[in-house]
Structures are given as structure tokens and as C-alpha cells.
Structure 1
Amino acid sequence: MRPSATPLGVILSACLLLVTGQFCIAQQFTIKRVELLNQQVIVHFDLTDDVSGRTYTLNVYGSHDNYLNPLQKLSGDFGLEVKPGLNKKFSWDPKAELGEDFSGSVALEVRGRLYIPFVRFTGFEDYRVLKRGKPYQLTWSGGTQQNILNFDLYKGDKKVTTFSNIANVGNYKLTLPTDTKPGKDYRFKISDTKNKDEVVYTGNFAVKRKTPLLLKVLPVLASGYLVVLLSGDDGKKKIPDPIKP
């Protein structure tokens, strides 16, 4: 049953009726309280599980689009691989999501399920550093031949580039563009182009230049030094021999 729509200013009270419930016997998701702070809707909850080591996917949907697409302007404990625990929370920015001029009623719905990666990478944890312009053979297992994959390169929360429409054949030779900025906190988001719920992330890695900048400069300096030596002119005047008596 869908929650009844509620004016945005008092949506917090409706959230308590919205998502209290159980995913299944061993897991329980319970709203503790909801608050409005600095135009942010903050939902405090507990997620408990009798089985250790499992994680969950939590997404939040709104009545403004008939609960079709997950909300994007969220932060906190939501998305992929949410670990069970007490005193968890996520925040939603209604103005950023719906626009400054939005007025009306919105109800929210939280959906959760056990997180099971639809593909699993083999040996990617060995790639702590990737160099620009160098090909890397990525391998994985899982999914079906019907999956068409996108590999999105992220630095932090910002998408840098996309390697699109990759066939799910278990391997792909990937080369980072030479204009990728060196730095840390990069990772790949792998998703099924036809199923928004099928998403996995790789671990973080750093990006470096294929050839260190110092090595590019040194040959130029060395060749310049040889020219000076071969020219026989080091910038100093030669002192003449003393006159013989």
C-alpha cells in the first residue's frame, strides 16, 4: 500500500508510517525518528540482521514521479552495500531534487534488498595504481550474455568518463585516456544498461602518468649539457700562456 501524500513541510511524520517493516524474517528495518533540519529531511533508522557479513541496497523513491526512479540528492547510509547496524541515517535535499519553486505534496518510500553483486571482478584489488595510456586486462564473472555494461570512471563522487556498451563476456581491455588527471580516489562503477538495480563498484585506485614528468624533462637537460661540452665554450675566457723571457 502506498503512503498517502503529505505536504512537504510535514512529510517527516508520514515517513514513520512509510517504511517501518521487515524485509524478511532475519532482517528488520525500523524508523526511529525523522527530522527537518536546514531544509534537509533526515531519517534515522536501525537495520538489523541475524546473519553477520551481509550488506544491503537501500533506495528511496518519491510520489512526485509515481515512485519510478530512486532519489538522487541523498547522503549518508543509502545505496549499495549498506551494513546493518543501529543509529544509521540518510538525508534528502528536497529543493535540490525537485527545484526551488516546487510546492505540493510528496510521499517517500524506502526499498531494501540483500546486496548480491551481479558481477564479481577477479584480481582487480591488485590494481592500486593505473597509468594513463596503458592497457589493462580486466576480468570478471557473473551476469548473463544479455547484460550490456557501462564502466563509469569516478573520482570521488564526480564522473570523469564512460566506457559504454561493453559486452558481458568476462573480460575487457581498458585504457585510461591520456588526459585523465593524476590523483587518488578513483574507482569504476559498473552497471547494466537495461537494469538500474544491477550496479557494482570497484575498490579505489590512483591514476598516474605513464611516463613520470621528471623522466620526460631529464633527456632534454642532458642533451643540452652535451652540446655545451662539445662546443668547447663554457662561457669563460681562456687565460693565455705566460710570455717566454
Structure 2
Amino acid sequence: MLKYRLLLFFALSIAALKLTAQTVTMEKIELAGELINVYYSLDDSNPNHEYQIDLYSSKDNFAEPLTKVSGEVGAEIKPGVYHMISWNAYEEIGGYEGELALEIRARVYIPFVKITGFDAGAKFKRGQAYPLLWKSGNMGGQIDIELYKDQSRVGGDRNVPNSGKYEYAFEGSAKPGKDYRLKFTNTRNRDEATYTGYFQIVPKIPIVIKVGALAGLAAGAYLLLNSSGGSESGGSSAAEPLAGHPDFPDP
């Protein structure tokens, strides 16, 4: 059970939205076990606009966006009614006790790069290079392409030309697993960054194949050790000289 009282207070950061006909409306909130579900509607006269939606809490005085969130949150959120953000409060803040306020911040999302042809949920082999493609309204300059596992940086390539294509080799030291994603950052303005969807990294050679190969070698060694002869009844366990061998003359 959650050990804090949630205040029914929500603030909307809509300074960027007031310039045109956009509104954000908080619909309702519900507690679902360790999850807090926040429902909101985003109305825009231009349905082609996309938004960056983030959820904040008063625990850190609304300093950093919450990370244990899912649903219609993050970049490229389209206008619509009854969007939902699901926040795993217990996983993020544990046994926090006391009052807690939430805040939704929304701004028009204009990425400096838009990644294309990338399959979220795909599997990539560590140590192997794959082509990356993206579009940018301002080609030129340099970007950083970095590999993250959840919120932790694993590695990456710095100062990559912002040309719209690049061969990226996934780190051979990356542990197989899920929750990986790539981060693209503008080196001229590090506030301009975008992530791919989450994907999986797998071993370059599947473990089951490695095990099968070792088993084959062991079986081959066993056959060699048992092919040196013996009587039909199983042979003698005593060592015997090899007849006719120059190192072992017959007595």
C-alpha cells in the first residue's frame, strides 16, 4: 500500500500552448494498487501538432520529470481526449510519507531530428553495426548518439555528423537484455535530445548454439577416446603395447 496522501492538485504548464487554440484539461485521477493513473485531454485546432508531455511531483519540488511512467507521456503525443499516464509511484519513491502534488507539463514537440525506419521492440546483436537513419530540419553540425539501458548510459559515439545516416556498432560489452534505447543529442544545444523506442540487445552468437558446439566437441572427444579398440566383450583394462609400432617392439 502507498504510504502517502495524494493531493488532488494539478498544475498545467501551458505557457507555450496559449499562443494558439490549445487547451489541456485534467479529467480524473485514480489509485490502482501501486499505480496512479492520471487522465487528461489535449485539445488543439491543428491535429497534426505533437506534444512533449511530462509528469512531475512535489517530492523534489517539481525539479525533474518522473521516470517510472508509461502510457501517453513523453514525446510525440497527439491531441485527443482521455489520454492516460500511469505512474508506478511505489517503484519511484518507495515508502514516501506525506502529502504529494502532481503537475503535468505540456509543450509543442519540435524534435531537432526525427528517427526513421527504426523498429521499436527489435533485437540487435551486440558488437554488430546497424544503419541508422533520421531526418532533420537543420542538417549540419554534429550530434551525439548514445546507448542507454533505462536511465543509465552504456556507451556511444560523440560528434557524429548530422547527415541523416550513420552506421552504429552496438557495444560488445553491453549485457543482453531489454530496456535499451538510443539517445540523439544536439552538441550545440544539449537541451535538444530525442530517444528511440525501447529495444533488446542479444548475444552475437546465441548461447544455445555455443552450448551445442561444446557438447559436440565433448562427444567427438569421447568417440576418439573409445575408438582405440578392445575386445568385443569390452576389451581389457590393462595397457598393452601396440603391435608393430616402432616405439614398442614386440617382446
- Identity rate of aligned residues, in percent? 25
Verify the 8 A CA contact 1:132 1:210 in the aligned structure 2. no
Partner secondary structure for residue 161 of structure 2: coil
Deviation at 1:95?
5.9
Tell me, yes or no, if structure 1 residue 224 matches structure 2 residue 217: no
Alignment of 1:180-199 (within 5 A): 180-181=175-176, 185=178, 187-192=180-185, 195=190, 198-199=193-194
- Which amino acid in 2 is paired with 1:224? A
Change in Cα spacing, 1:163 to 1:216, as seen in structure 2 (3 Å) is: same
Q: Which runs of 5+ in 2 are unaligned?
A: 235-251
- Which amino acid in 2 is paired with 1:89? M
**Normalised by the size of structure 2, how large is the TM-score?**
0.62
Tell me the alpha carbon deviations over residues 1-44 of structure 1, each in whole angstroms, 9 at most, x when there is no partner: xxxxxxx74621x22xx239682535432111234555754322
Aligned to 1:71: 66
- Which amino acid in 1 is paired with 2:74? G
Partner secondary structure for residue 11 of structure 1: strand
- Which amino acid in 2 is paired with 1:108? L
Which protein is bigger by CA-based radius of gyration?
2
Change in Cα spacing, 1:208 to 1:146, as seen in structure 2 (3 Å) is: closer
Tell me, yes or no, if structure 1 residue 169 matches structure 2 residue 161: yes
Rounded to whole Å, the distance in 2 between the matches of 1:126 and 1:29 is 28
Q: 1:86 aligns with which of 81, 85, 88?
A: 81
RMSD of aligned residue pairs (Cα, Å)? 4.2
Deviation at 1:234?
7.3
Rounded to whole Å, the distance in 2 between the matches of 1:215 and 1:160 is 34
- Which amino acid in 2 is paired with 1:200? Y
Verify the 8 A CA contact 2:6 2:101 in the aligned structure 1. no
Tell me the alpha carbon deviations over residues 72-105 of structure 1, each in whole angstroms, 9 at most, x when there is no partner: 343432122334332222244556555635435x
Tell me, yes or no, if structure 1 residue 19 matches structure 2 residue 12: yes
Aligned to 2:124: 130
Deviation at 1:132?
3.1
Partner secondary structure for residue 213 of structure 2: helix
- Which amino acid in 2 is paired with 1:190? K
**Normalised by the size of structure 1, how large is the TM-score?**
0.64
Tell me, yes or no, if structure 1 residue 207 matches structure 2 residue 199: no
Rounded to whole Å, the distance in 2 between the matches of 1:147 and 1:20 is 29
Change in Cα spacing, 1:57 to 1:179, as seen in structure 2 (3 Å) is: closer
Tell me the alpha carbon deviations over residues 120-170 of structure 1, each in whole angstroms, 9 at most, x when there is no partner: 446544994422333445454547636444321x4xxx4676114622324
Verify the 8 A CA contact 2:54 2:106 in the aligned structure 1. yes
Verify the 8 A CA contact 1:148 1:166 in the aligned structure 2. yes
Change in Cα spacing, 1:101 to 1:11, as seen in structure 2 (3 Å) is: closer
Deviation at 1:58?
0.4
Rounded to whole Å, the distance in 1 between the matches of 2:202 and 2:90 is 35
Q: Which runs of 5+ in 1 are unaligned?
A: 1-7, 239-245
